[in-house]
Amino acid sequence: MDPTLSREEREHAFDAAENALRAALSDWYDEETSAIDADIVSSAPTGTGGSIVGSGPAIDSKRVLDASAVTRSILGIDIPPEIIKRGGYKSRNELFSELLPQLRAVYSGERKVKRRKPAKPMTKVQG
């Protein structure tokens, strides 16, 4: 993200990148959900009693942070934890409809988020 751009210019830049972002996040979502769902769904019990499969979010809030690799490559920013819906997202549509407007607001500068301090380098302990 170029800090010399105006808010309007950053909004336009986000809008121009949105299709690529949606496609990449969609691929990420498919990979993340299929990695766990395939084994669980095939062995889940069936019947009228229901199943725990499908009762929770498809993608929990902590795993959404992993999508920062996608946003970093397309937008140059990580997903701030404070814009992720607590508990996660039940579907790709919910992820897009709730996360993308928040991400756009952060990218444009409309919404301020805490800047993370860089990790301190580890030092060798003398012992």
Beta strands (DSSP E) in the chain are none
Note whether 26 and 92 are within 8 A (CB): yes
**Position 63 in a domain:** yes
**Position 33 in a domain:** yes
Strand partners, 89: 59
Residue 115's pLDDT is: 74
How do residues 61-106 score in pLDDT, each as one tens digit? 999 999 999 999 999 999 999 999 999 999 999 999 999 999 999 9
Which structural domain range is residue 77 located in?
7-42+57-108
**Position 26 in a domain:** yes
As for how many domains the chain has, the answer is: 1
**Position 13 in a domain:** yes
How do residues 27-62 score in pLDDT, each as one tens digit? 999 999 885 545 555 555 555 554 444 556 889 999
How do residues 1-19 score in pLDDT, each as one tens digit? 677 899 999 999 999 999 9
Residue 52's pLDDT is: 47
**Position 115 in a domain:** no
How do residues 109-127 score in pLDDT, each as one tens digit? 999 988 766 667 767 776 5
Residues 91, 92, 93, 96: is their CA dihedral positive or negative? positive
**Position 47 in a domain:** no
Model pTM?
A: 0.74
**Position 119 in a domain:** no
